[in-house]
Amino acid sequence: MSDSTHTGPMLAADGTPLKRSLRRALRAQKMRALALIAPLLIFVLLTFIAPIVDMLFRSVENQIVGNTLPMTVEELRDWDATEVPDEQVFRALFFDLFLAAEAKEHTKLGSRLNYEKSGISSLFRTSGRDMNDIGEVFQDALEEIDPAFEEASTWVEMMSGGARAEPNARLMSNQIARLEALEATTFSGDAEFLPGAAISDILPNTARAYAAFAAFTQFVDGKSVTKEEPWEAVYAALALDLEDPATKTAIASYAGPGADNLRQAAAATLPPIAMRDAFFESNKDWANVTFWETIKTYSPPYTTGYFLNAVDMEKTPQGIALRSEDERIYGILFQRTMFMSLMITFSCVALGYPVAWILANLPTRTANLLMILVLLPFWTSLLVRTSAWKVMLQQQGVINDVLVWLGLVADESRLVMINNQFGTIVAMTHILLPFMILPMYSVMQTIPPSYLRAAKSLGANNWTAFWRVYFPQSVPGIGAGSILVFILAIGYYITPEIVGGTTGTFISNRIAYHISSSLNWGLAAALGTILLAVVLILYWAYDKIVGIDNVKLG
């Protein structure tokens, strides 16, 4: 730099400006650091963050109604929700439900809608069974008119419109896509059967029903459509098409394969099509407008229904409203979770503060020995500690035995300390206490004991010296420990499940119940999302107060 002849920008050894050279080096360093982090980041994103996001998505997802009853949902779009829908809707419902019943997906839809309106599940279950009977009327009638309708080959030929006919590939791929959505899988391979374009125009319902049948036979059953007699819905669809006089005239001039059979069927009188009455006969609840309202309300692919349910609300025709008094359980459960987590946090502060103090103020050697008493529970398996508390708190347990032996409690009136809130609070306080003591201890270690002596020598009494001098300095430790304990407590599952009984359980137990027992995954996801939101707010606060980098273990 003493070289005063050089006036341009400072240069590095290789002649590039130092600034650029430095920036390049820095960039290389950054890239190296990112390259080291990248594998783990991708790993965590794939194994952990993706599942969480998937769960968030599931809490609003509601594609089952649209996937199971696509045509009904379409028909219901203009329904004004004042009276029972007309015949048109019931016809769509027949074909939807028929396919769903064949694929055995109708009960799933029934249980999904049952979460919103109880009783609806039996509606779908019983009517799903009756679909064959409703369609069989038309099958019998048509086969009586022309026995050729019993033959699988007649149908294949008729619906494909002959070997050289122009195919309607779009109709077939639509039906395959619909079946894929219904079965929640993807099928591979080409369709064995393609409906003819001409016949699809003349008999739209039959072509659609037959294409659905063909797709199901080939991809789900794994059989050949040329050897299978179509199912009842196809006959019903044909009857439906023949009901229209325009179809009859079109058939009269149609020359493709099976035209004669069709003409014969068109000339005869078929049983009247009254799907509405048939459904009412199958289950009188189809005449119940509220069930139809539920189907319509939950027909969009995304719903806030699970979240509303999670906060004890429901969708009604009049808008969103609170559930009736006896159906509100989640509000109470959230309140209880909050209350118990707070109780556990307070108990941990109350018990942890003196211990942290004494550990921080004893000579190091003694403090390290006592520290083992804190660390041993910390390192012991959670289930060991939980089973220990079960042993301690039972009615025939250690504490009750000791109390009875001492005569403080009569043998016949042993204390009930387990399977209630008390049990959960005691056991969880014990389990989480080390998480309170450790951060408090690390903060208190940094407070010089001379401050207290100084305060006392200036005339403060014990209490004032503690409250005005020591306590304010220990508050960060209390804050860190409290948030940590609260975050851990609010999402606890194992301990409440074992010692909590029915009154001492948390929201997590309800989530687990909905995943494994009631199978209401959407509601479980919604409850989980709410819980996650609470925890993330606390996590953010923890990061602000303590900093994630400053978390210490052991």
Partner 1 sequence: MNGFTLTPVETKPLSFSLPVIGAAGGFVGLFVGTAHGSGLMGVVIGAVALMVLAYVALVVLGLAQEKITRWGLVALFIVAGVLLAGVPGFVLGLLFGLFFSWFIFWIGEGRYRANLAPYLTSGQVLWHYAFRVICGAIFIFLITPILVVMPLSFNAQNFFTFTPEMLRFDPAGYSLKHYQDFFTSNEWQQALRNSLLIAPAATVLSVSFGTLAAIGLSSEHVPFRRAIMAVLISPMIVPLIISAAGMYFFYSRIGLQGTYLGVVLAHAALGIPFVIITVTATLVGFDRSLTRAAANMGADPVTTFFRVQMPLILPGVISGGLFAFITSFDEVVVVLFVGSANQQTLPWEMFTGLREQISPTILAVATILVVISIALLTTMEYLRRRSERLRGMSPS
Return the residues of window 448-467 that contact partner 1 according to CB under 8 A: 462
At its nearest, how many Å lie between partner 1 and the CB of residue 338?
A: 14
The answer to whether 543 contacts partner 1 (rule: CB under 8 A) is yes
Q: Which is nearer to partner 1, 1 or 548 (CB)?
A: 548
Stretch that binds partner 1, among 79-87, 129-137, 245-253, 386-394 (CB under 8 A): 386-394
At its nearest, how many Å lie between partner 1 and the CB of residue 530?
A: 10
Q: Which is nearer to partner 1, 251 or 447 (CB)?
A: 447
Q: Which is nearer to partner 1, 121 or 529 (CB)?
A: 529
Residues within window 323-362 making contact with partner 1, judged by CB under 8 A = 351, 354-355, 358
Binding mask 422-451 toward partner 1 (x if CB under 8 A, else -) reads --------x--xx-----------------
Which pair of structure tokens corresponds to residue 277? 């009455």
The answer to whether 41 contacts partner 1 (rule: CB under 8 A) is yes
> Rounded CA gap, 507 and 520, in Å?
15
Stretch that binds partner 1, among 80-88, 174-182, 225-233, 520-528 (CB under 8 A): 520-528
Q: Which is nearer to partner 1, 13 or 163 (CB)?
A: 13
* Identified binder of partner 1 from the candidate list 92, 278, 524, 546, rule CB under 8 A: 524
> Rounded CA gap, 552 and 554, in Å?
7
The answer to whether 369 contacts partner 1 (rule: CB under 8 A) is no
Which pair of structure tokens corresponds to residue 410? 């009569």
The answer to whether 269 contacts partner 1 (rule: CB under 8 A) is no
> Rounded CA gap, 509 and 498, in Å?
10
3-state secondary structure 144-191: HHCHHHHCHHHHHHHHHCCCCCCECHHHHHHHHHHHHHHHCCCCCCCC
The answer to whether 33 contacts partner 1 (rule: CB under 8 A) is yes
Which amino acid is residue 250, in one-letter code?
A
Helix locations, 77-117, DSSP H: 87-102, 106-114
Residues within window 55-114 making contact with partner 1, judged by CB under 8 A = 55, 58
Closest C-alpha to 237, from 429, 41, 39, 96? 96
Which amino acid is residue 471, in one-letter code?
F
* Identified binder of partner 1 from the candidate list 26, 81, 177, 287, rule CB under 8 A: 26
* Identified binder of partner 1 from the candidate list 63, 290, 316, 387, rule CB under 8 A: 387
The answer to whether 498 contacts partner 1 (rule: CB under 8 A) is yes
Provide the sign of the torsion angle of the four alpha carbons 9, 11, 17, 18, taken in this order.
Answer: negative
Q: Which is nearer to partner 1, 216 or 353 (CB)?
A: 353
Q: Is 552 helix (H, G, I), strand (E, B) or coil?
A: coil
At its nearest, how many Å lie between partner 1 and the CB of residue 336?
A: 16
Which residue is associated with the tokens 């279950």? Answer: 125
* Identified binder of partner 1 from the candidate list 79, 187, 280, 521, rule CB under 8 A: 521
Q: Are 323 and 312 a contacting pair, CB within 8 Å? A: yes
Closest C-alpha to 93, from 254, 246, 299, 247? 299
> Rounded CA gap, 200 and 27, in Å?
64
